[in-house]
Copies of this chain bind each other. A is one copy, B any other.
Amino acid sequence: MSADFRALLETFENQFPQRDYVIETICPEFTSMCPKTGQPDFGELTLTYTPDKVCIELKSLKLYLHQFRNHGAFYEHVTNLILDDLVAVSQPRQMKLVAAFTPRGGIRTKVTAEYTGEASHGRAVGFGAGR
């Protein structure tokens, strides 16, 4: 399913690959559907990454995220899914995604997932990452 979504993502060449620099992109208008209740959820995504060969094109990122508008997904999973898609398409040196959702039932939730390079699976991110 997500493979289809990621087809909309485009990249462009990173003209400064010799430098490890950081791009932070904030998308305060993310919305998806709760798979349990069928009601819309709303949140703000903060993507931070160090590009390697390519950068993520911002308009394509916007269109990619719009696909979740009528798509059911739990907070924890959608955050990990989007991170997987962005890593697959842009092969960054490092990437972190923070998704902060608006309150439901008096409770609000923020999910933080991080990709730290090829060897990162199974590695423990610093616990302070949620801040």
A interface residues, Cβ below 8 angstroms from B: 14-16, 18-29, 31, 39-40, 42, 48, 50-51, 55, 58-59, 61-62, 66, 69-70, 76-77, 79-80, 93-94, 96, 102-114, 116, 120-125, 127, 129-130
Given contacts A29-B42, A94-B127, contact A21 B79 (CB under 8 A): yes
Q: For the complex, give the distance between the alpha carbons of A16 and B67 in Å.
A: 22
Please tell me if the beta carbons of A125 and B26 are within 8 angstroms of each other in the complex.
no
The secondary-structure label for the interface of chain A is mixed
What are 9 pairs between A and B in contact, CB < 8 Å?
A23-B110, A28-B106, A29-B102, A39-B66, A42-B106, A50-B125, A102-B106, A103-B106, A116-B127
Given contacts A40-B69, A114-B21, A127-B50, contact A31 B28 (CB under 8 A): no
Q: Of B21, B59, B94, B130, which is within 8 A of A22 by CB? A: B130
Q: For the complex, give the distance between the alpha carbons of A66 and B26 in Å.
A: 24
Q: For the complex, give the distance between the alpha carbons of A41 and B6 in Å.
A: 22
Please tell me if the beta carbons of A22 and B58 are within 8 angstroms of each other in the complex.
no
Q: Of B14, B26, B27, B130, which is within 8 A of A76 by CB? A: B14
B-side contacts of A16, CB under 8 Å: 76-77, 80, 113
